[in-house]
Amino acid sequence: MTRGTFSLAASALALLTGCTLMPAYERPASPVAQDYPLAAPTAASGVATADLGWQDFFADARLRKLIAMALDHNRDLRVALLNIEKSRATYRIQRAELFPAVNATADGSGNRLAKDQSGTGQVEVTHAYSAGIGFAAYELDLFGRVRSLNEQALQAYLGTAEAAQTTRISLVAEVASNYLSLAADAALLRLAEQTLATRQTSYELTQRSHALGSASELTLRQMQTSLESARVDVAAYTAQVAQARNALALVVGTDVPAELLPPPSTEVLAQVFGARDELPVGLPSDLLTRRPDIRSAEHALRAANASIGAARAAFFPRISLTASAGYSSSQLSELFKSGHGVWSFAPQITLPLFDAGSNQATLDSARAERDITVAQYEKSIQSAFREVADALAVRSTINDRRGAQARLVDASQQSLNLSQARFQHGVDSYLTLLDAQRTLYAAQQGLISVELTRASNLVTLYKVLGGGWTDQTVAAATPGLTGGGAARP
């Protein structure tokens, strides 16, 4: 065979083994609007929210330490990372099918034949020894079946890596949300304790006045009702704070040191982000490359597309090769000497003729699975769009709610001051004063709730826009993490 003929044959074989019957992949059209509703214009920023590192997003040093602890100890994240290792190993196993498995073998045998079984009428003892290398049932991937399965395994691995990024983003947001909830519960407990102390003092003064005959029994019992109501709130909020601490410890994955717990002040809710009050939202199309859950769904779609290629290849012939070369001898000392070389070559072709529709059913199933995955991919985009839109809907009114609630607290405080003065001068009954106390107490609780909603909403917006996957802010999308999925193994 000439050099040109050999090169032509090698090129033809490479072309055949490189073809595939996978359908050409096309990303489905986005099933959402081009803009978010109620999206307020934000100042231009060179850094997208998804590329904003959580260490830069959160200004509270305690919260940053808790997030770092969670990334080290949280079990859900640990499982997600181990799933990456498992999926990578599965892909490597499948990729190995592209190459023949070459094995070295050596064996020996001995046989003894009885006199009545041998042709000579004498006992015969025979030995056989062999050594060689070879491969068995290596499939020539002429129609891309093995390559399609390899692509399917690769996309499954990449999807698992994106799922781990989703877990990381959710973990960062969950730690922050639990931290804020604990801060709000601690603030509510402190407010309840202050209210209890104030009402305890008022009750004791009224109790002495009643003993002197200057306060009625009705007024005393009304004050006692107010006192016990505050005591109930203190007990309830004490339990709520304990539960919030347990929730934070669970998501962090280890015990939370006391010095990392938020102080019982609403200032924590306002200062956890520093001076940051808004985030660049971008366009819905950005979610396709910024949200790892959407990228994971697209990898699943690519895997389903590859499955169609493998199902199509089942209709075509499969050629497998088995070959070996080595030495064989009846004497171990003669095994590797000249004249004892042996070889075997056994190609096999399998052509499907009748399978009662099994191959067609497999192809139909693969196509249906691809269509299902398309719907799931589109649903993931719609869910992401709704999450951002919902967060923006809260964001568009939260400052108005916060301002109105603050004004309600001021008005309630003034009303309480007036009611207190009128009660002391005997103009109004204690019932009017009690109503003013309850109104102020409820307004103060409402302000803490609004502050929590405002802070939690910014955390939610950061999460749903894809933020939290990186510790430090990056200037642009990092290949393999924010744009095109995880790096190939």
* 81-130 tens-digit pLDDT: 888 898 989 888 888 888 888 888 888 888 888 777 777 777 778 888 88
From its phi and psi, is residue 268 left (phi > 0), alpha (psi between -120 and 50) or beta? alpha
pLDDT at res. 8: 44
The pLDDT of 202-213, averaged and rounded, is 78
Q: Identify the top-confidence range among 96-100, 217-221, 246-250, 310-314.
A: 246-250
Tell me which of 33 and 16 has the higher pLDDT.
Answer: 33
Residue 234 structure tokens: 């203190």
Q: Do the Cβ atoms of 27 and 374 come closer than 8 Å?
A: no
Confidence grade of residue 227 (pLDDT, cut at 50, 70, 90): confident
The per-residue pLDDT for range 364-416, each reduced to its tens digit, is 999 999 999 999 999 999 999 999 999 999 998 999 999 999 999 999 999 98
Tokens found for residue 233 = 């709130």
Mean pLDDT in residue range 425-437? 81
pLDDT > 60? residue 14? no
Query: Contact 315/350 with Cβ under 8 angstroms?
Result: no
Distance of CA 423 to the CA centre of its chain: 59
- 82: burial class by Cβ within 10 Å (0-12, 13-18, 19+)? exposed
Residue 43 clears pLDDT 50, i.e. is over it? no
Domains and CATH numbers, the chain: 27-101+145-316+357-464 (1.20.1600.10)
Residue indicated by tokens 């959160």: 58
Q: How far is CA 84 from CA 156, 159, 485, in A?
A: 10, 9, 13
Tell me, rounded to whole angstroms, the distance of Cα 264 from its chain centroid. 31
Selected residue with higher pLDDT from 297 and 488:
297
Q: What are phi and psi of 433, to 5 degrees?
A: -65, -40
Instruction: Classify residue 68 as exposed, middle or buried by CB count within 10 Å of its CB (0-12, 13-18, 19+).
Output: middle
The DSSP output letter for 3 is H
Confidence class for position 161, pLDDT limits 50, 70, 90: very high
pLDDT exceeds 90 at position 182: yes
Residue 135 token pair: 């491969």
Least confident of 72-81, 206-215, 298-307: 206-215
- For residue 452, give every residue at least 6 positions away whose Cβ sits within 8 Å of its Cβ, in sequence order, or none: 180, 181, 183, 184, 269
| pLDDT at site 220 | 80
pLDDT of residue 11 exceeding 90, the answer is no
CA–CA distance, 414 with 424 (Å, rounded to integer): 15
Q: Which amino acid is present at 368?
A: A
The pLDDT of residue 101 is 84
